Chains A and B, each alone.
Chain A
């Protein structure tokens, strides 16, 4: 059995979590103080994911950049592919928080949405 120490990134507590792994499967998680830690450990071992935040070019506003994020986490391995798409995307004002800026980015099934308002 393999043991891996992880720092949970689910919240700023940053719990030190120990995952016990057998045949690539997480069989036990200890050290977490809430359910997020357990979920995080499972995902981190089998399919690590992250939320990506950045900006896109904004047109038609006094502001020139609009903050955006992936609406939920995406596979860690796709981060730079997603960034490439974000870097070429444009949003037009008016925009409000939650508006979809890029649909289904890189086939992840996840949208990139605005996290700021612009008029």
Chain B
């Protein structure tokens, strides 16, 4: 058995997979990866199931050391410097650590979360069919909490398969698309127009439960309390202070603030990757357009195995050089206060 030993890791890093849907009626949220496309791409590179468990790595750096044998890995999601014993590793490629070698990851440069998939998966005991960490519910395996230095992830020895890269569509800088509702009638037309016309940023007080938005103050028509109802990933709830909170995969299953809109499922991962402090906008689309986008997103997921390419040293060097050049001056917009324990989505309690 090979294993990856975590030699250093920042907050907001945990084992995540496709999550555990099916028990929201009992208050258990599915959790799972913030960016499912990146999770699926990383897994595809090493021949795993699309939504197999991988390490979701937050905006900070991390290091992993192979023990007991070689370990084959792949990285996708947020771009960052990566190397194995000094050999550069590009995002969206696979690579192999020989026994004793260390994979070192820098801070996220664009995006927030990278996914480290491990060939053969992460050994663990699933609960409700998932290894995803949900610390509040005491769920997750092999550790029911975010990862810490010294943790070990057991896996299979590297197969020796040739390394691959994966071609993904270019990341759009387009606005984040929403559909109105379910409670947009709690807001006037002027408030909805302000929501769409405003520039927004993700606040530093954000986490896997909720992203707090900074921008305009969105006023309610009838006050900010509604009778609790169900939430989804991407619910845009507006609490009393008028600063919207977007609910993320560790959200409460129900909530008592009016929800003006919902991020469409095809854009949710892209939204989750928005770094703290970066300016973005929302765009309202019809249900038909949102559902067409959901179908295209599903087609993209299905097409991932067809997007694998062999690595020629040329590709690798260009990517790595670009990464190194950018890293020379780019600094992540996040700081250590960003991924904190108490969640803004959490402070109000049950409704």
Binding between chains A and B:
no
Q: Which residues of A contact B (CB under 8 A)?
A: none
Q: Which residues of B contact A (CB under 8 A)?
A: none
